[in-house]
A = this chain, B = another copy of it.
Amino acid sequence: MRQQVQQGGPSSDSCSSTSDCFPLSRRSSAECGSETSAAAEKHEVRATNTPADLSKMSSIIVFYLLYLLCLCLGLACVVCVCVWSDQWRGGFAWDGSILEFNWHPVLMVTGLVVVYGVGAVVYRIPLTWGQNKLPWKLLHAALMLIALILSIVGLCAVFDYHNVNKISNVYSLHSWIGITAAAVFALQWVCGAAGFLLPWSPTTLRKLLKPVHVWLGGIILLLSIAACISGINEKLFFALKGNTTETKYSNLPPEAVLGNSLGVLIVAFGLVVLKILSNHEWQRPDSRPEGLAYTPLLQDDNE
């Protein structure tokens, strides 16, 4: 295991040649015993003394602040959409009634936005850079699978509700954008699993696939956000069309403020995730030899 960590992360030798790439992995490597204490001490001195290291350290601090913000915003989105559906819209059921529809916003926001966004930035966490990539690859795939399953169940909820109540499916712009996001996400997961996890996928294919995978990942999040905003907006117009202060959207009753705030939180969460994904300084560096840069699931990552 120690050997695995040494190969997965930069050793004391590799640190010296890739010092621009691994600002925090040094600490991880040292913690895992892959550095001598003298080498670790040398790095410690450099980290506190050179402007370049201070700049890297501040970049890492900004990352963790953004990551914390991302987690807080994601949690706030889930709490908001649950409270909205449970407290203002009557709760949940799976009986073809409007209570079955209530699963739709909860599962789409939780799956296609929050779990998806958190899963997308797993590789960006600097603490993981010095470690074996395989567990993080599996975590990324698992989070994305959870996100996909939640999204599919969320779609089933609205399709079932529509079918029971003789309402057409997939006619609104919201549904066109949403269904496209879910379909591209399903395709992305299958291609990602086949391309990055299965052992018979060639390295050249993985190299070609990676930028497409990253780019499609961003597109899916953009589509999800656009679908959520239009969906929440539509739902609030449907639900708040009464004439009293509490039931008219244009009077901005508490439910309208909650729904609008959910939309704002989703946009803020998406922007933070996209900011993390777009910063090249926070990309996991590939320190390993060319042929080992991508590790199939069924091969030992460091053999």
**Which residue numbers of A lie inside 8 Å of B, CB to CB?**
167-168, 171-174, 176-177, 215, 219, 222-223, 225-227, 229-230, 232-234, 236-237, 249-252, 256, 259-260, 263-264, 267, 270-271, 274-275, 278, 280
State the number of copies, please.
2
Pair B226/A256 contact, Cβ less than 8 Å: no
Pair A233/B168 contact, Cβ less than 8 Å: no
Given A222-B271, A263-B173, also A233-B234 (CB < 8 A): yes
Top-7 shortest CB links A-B:
A168-B250, A230-B230, A173-B263, A230-B233, A173-B233, A226-B229, A173-B260
Identify the closest chain B residue to A257 (Cβ).
Answer: B171
30 contacts between A and B (CB under 8 A): A167-B250, A168-B251, A168-B252, A171-B249, A171-B250, A171-B251, A171-B252, A172-B249, A172-B260, A173-B232, A173-B259, A173-B263, A174-B233, A176-B260, A176-B264, A177-B229, A177-B264, A215-B275, A222-B222, A222-B267, A222-B270, A222-B274, A223-B267, A226-B226, A226-B229, A230-B234, A233-B234, A234-B234, A237-B237, A280-B280
Specify which of B234, B236, B271 is in contact with A219 (CB 8 Å cutoff). Answer: B271
Specify which of B168, B219, B233 is in contact with A172 (CB 8 Å cutoff). Answer: B233
Q: How far is the CA of A225 from the CA of B251 in the complex (A)?
A: 26
Q: Main SS of the interface on chain A?
A: helix
Residues of B contacting A270 with CB < 8 Å? 222
Identify the closest chain B residue to A259 (Cβ).
Answer: B173
Pair A267/B177 contact, Cβ less than 8 Å: yes
